[in-house]
């Protein structure tokens, strides 16, 4: 007799939909700008996800408390925990994109996998996504990826700057010939993205590139480091996230590989990555993204307006840590995008499409950054229709056992090499997805 059924659940779901609709209606007409916040406070990558999320939310709170919102429009936000899983991330994106009076302003997907899945939907939903320092490397091409903004850098620029640093250390690019460089990477699009550029550079300079993948979440690396012990590469580039980073450093200690010769990408250079390794992490280097560790004027504001009033999101000591600062900077970029769009569209809640224009016309010079309290925590950035990344520059910092110290000059990615790669990859994407590239001259003419 149990032959009934299939879709009884759909009726239940339809009821759920009705609930969702009524909830949406309650928001309408308020002078509020909705900021969706995708975070992962749980799951394998939580130790790194939490400080970022706290920084992001703190900045949104700060803008409300200090400035009374963006141009008088109050910021409302809602967090959704993705657990760094793509399917939950997509669900979160769908859940949050329609909230607030005008829908979501801008998303930070905060995971390469979610970025890939969501990129598809942004063009129909007309909501921009910022993937500062991660995401698709080819998405800096604004003609094809209208709604993607890999602001301030992506994996190819990071890899490029690391190689520049190694060349400088060796005394010139010609000295890299015959050197052995190993890439220890998270075996996912995140870890694989830099390979294309490293191979391109290897062709130019003649170094040997060894690829050593580490499977998610990266706690098992014995085999990888055994290979490093056997091959003794001159340098190890670390492309990890979360627990993988500290495991790598611990394995390096166990293998006796000098930490001074290990260079992490900016996702492998925060306090949660080095602290578990204790003293063993001393001498380990990593790239700095946007903002180093430390406290500046904006942090004083965070204390003044939030923590002193008991409104801070996370613990007090966390303010000024690498990932906290990155969250802060990420939120700042979102807010600045909205602010820029308000210049054109008026000081009212804006649609994602309008925020897209703001992000595409960012002009953050030293003066603007100083006014925001970000002096020393962000390089000047401007974007355009064709260039969705803005300047990508970085330097290295080294862990001394207690804190990160700046340890190199500032490098800028060599766009001569990267631009053609971006163009080729974006073109392939456009062909695959049947997307038509925008003509930026026309966009400019149309205002």
The residues binding other proteins (CB under 8 A) are 1-14, 16-21, 23-24, 39, 41-42, 46, 50, 53, 78-81, 83, 85-87, 90-91, 94-95, 97-98, 112-113, 116-117, 119-121, 124, 136-137, 187-190, 192-193, 195-196, 213, 216, 425, 429, 432-434
Pick from 276, 274, 275: nearest CA to 262: 274
Pick from 177, 180, 179, 234: nearest CA to 206: 177
Nearest approach, Cβ of 171 to other proteins (angstroms)? 30
| 304 DSSP assignment | I
Residue closer to other proteins (CB basis): 187 or 400: 187
Nearest approach, Cβ of 247 to other proteins (angstroms)? 18
User: Which residue in this structure is represented by tokens 């390979």?
Assistant: 195
Pick from 407, 399, 425: nearest CA to 148: 425
Nearest approach, Cβ of 383 to other proteins (angstroms)? 23
Q: Residue 323 corresponds to which tokens in the numbers above?
A: 């990932």
Nearest approach, Cβ of 298 to other proteins (angstroms)? 23
Residue closer to other proteins (CB basis): 18 or 363: 18
248/229 Cα distance (integer angstroms): 13
Asked if 180 and 207 touch (Cβ cutoff 8 Å), the reply is yes
Pairing of strands 262-264, 393-394: unpaired
Task: Count CB atoms within 10 A of the CB of residue 9.
Answer: 9
Nearest approach, Cβ of 273 to other proteins (angstroms)? 20
Nearest approach, Cβ of 10 to other proteins (angstroms)? 5
Which segments of 221-293 are extended strands (E)?
235-239, 262-264, 285-287
Residue closer to other proteins (CB basis): 86 or 224: 86
Distances from the Cα of 76 to the Cα of 31, 32, 62, 79, 297, angstroms: 10, 6, 12, 10, 24
Residue closer to other proteins (CB basis): 196 or 443: 196
Q: Residue 92 corresponds to which tokens in the numbers above?
A: 């979160």
Task: Count CB atoms within 10 A of the CB of residue 8.
Answer: 8
385/356 Cα distance (integer angstroms): 10
| Residue 206, H or E segment | none
Asked if 160 and 418 touch (Cβ cutoff 8 Å), the reply is yes
Residue closer to other proteins (CB basis): 216 or 295: 216
Q: What is the per-residue DSSP string for 344-398?
A: HH-SS---HHHHHHHHHT-EE-HHHHHHHT-TTTS--EE--SSBSS---EE-EEE
Nearest approach, Cβ of 72 to other proteins (angstroms)? 26
Nearest approach, Cβ of 274 to other proteins (angstroms)? 23
Residue closer to other proteins (CB basis): 94 or 366: 94
Residue closer to other proteins (CB basis): 2 or 442: 2
Nearest approach, Cβ of 53 to other proteins (angstroms)? 8
Q: What is the per-residue DSSP string for 4-57?
A: --STHHHHHHHHHHHHHHHHHHHHTT-SEEEEEEEE-SSSTTHHHHHHHHHHHH
Residue closer to other proteins (CB basis): 277 or 413: 413
Residue closer to other proteins (CB basis): 257 or 266: 266
Residue closer to other proteins (CB basis): 88 or 275: 88
Nearest approach, Cβ of 267 to other proteins (angstroms)? 15
């Amino acid at each position: 007799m149990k032959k009934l059924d299939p879709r009884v659940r759909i009726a239940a779901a339809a009821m759920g939909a009705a609930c969702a609709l009524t909830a949406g209606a309650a928001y309408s007409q308020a002078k509020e700008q909705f900021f969706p916040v995708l975070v992962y406070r749980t799951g394998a990558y939580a130790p790194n996800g939490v400080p970022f999320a706290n920084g992001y939310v703190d900045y949104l709170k700060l803008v409300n408390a200090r400035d009374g919102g963006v141009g008088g429009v109050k910021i409302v936000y809602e967090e959704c925990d993705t657990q760094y899983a793509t399917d939950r991330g997509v669900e979160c994106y769908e859940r949050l994109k329609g909230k607030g009076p005008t829908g979501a302003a801008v998303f930070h997907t905060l995971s390469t996998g979610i970025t890939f899945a969501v990129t598809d939907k942004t063009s129909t939903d007309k909501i921009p996504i910022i993937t500062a320092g991660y995401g698709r490397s080819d998405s800096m091409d604004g003609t094809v990826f209208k709604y993607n903004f890999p602001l301030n850098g992506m994996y190819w620029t990071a890899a490029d700057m690391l190689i520049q640093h190694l060349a400088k250390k060796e005394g010139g690019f010609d000295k890299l010939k015959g050197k052995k460089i190993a890439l220890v990477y998270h075996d996912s699009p995140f870890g694989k993205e830099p390979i294309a550029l490293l191979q391109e550079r290897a062709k130019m300079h003649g170094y040997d590139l060894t690829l050593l993948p580490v499977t998610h979440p990266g706690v098992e690396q014995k085999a990888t480091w055994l290979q490093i012990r056997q091959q003794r590469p001159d340098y190890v580039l670390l492309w990890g996230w979360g627990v993988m980073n500290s495991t790598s450093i611990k394995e390096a200690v166990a293998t006796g590989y000098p930490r001074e010769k290990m260079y992490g990408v900016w996702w492998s250079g925060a306090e949660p990555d080095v602290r578990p390794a204790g003293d063993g992490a001393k001498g380990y280097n990593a790239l700095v993204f946007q903002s180093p560790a430390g406290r500046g004027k904006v942090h004083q504001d965070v204390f003044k307006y939030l923590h002193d009033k008991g409104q801070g999101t996370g613990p007090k000591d966390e303010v000024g840590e690498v990932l906290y600062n990155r969250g802060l900077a990420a939120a700042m970029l979102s807010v600045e995008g909205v602010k820029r769009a308000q210049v054109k569209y008026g000081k009212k809640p804006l649609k994602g499409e309008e925020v897209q224009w703001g992000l595409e016309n960012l002009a953050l010079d030293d003066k603007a950054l100083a006014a925001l309290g970000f002096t020393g925590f962000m390089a000047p950035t401007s974007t355009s229709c064709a260039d969705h990344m803005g300047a990508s520059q970085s330097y290295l910092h080294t862990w001394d056992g207690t804190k990160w110290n700046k340890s190199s000059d500032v490098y800028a990615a060599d766009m001569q090499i990267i631009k053609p790669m971006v163009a080729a990859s974006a073109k392939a994407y456009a062909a695959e997805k049947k997307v038509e590239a925008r003509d930026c001259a026309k966009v400019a003419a149309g205002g």
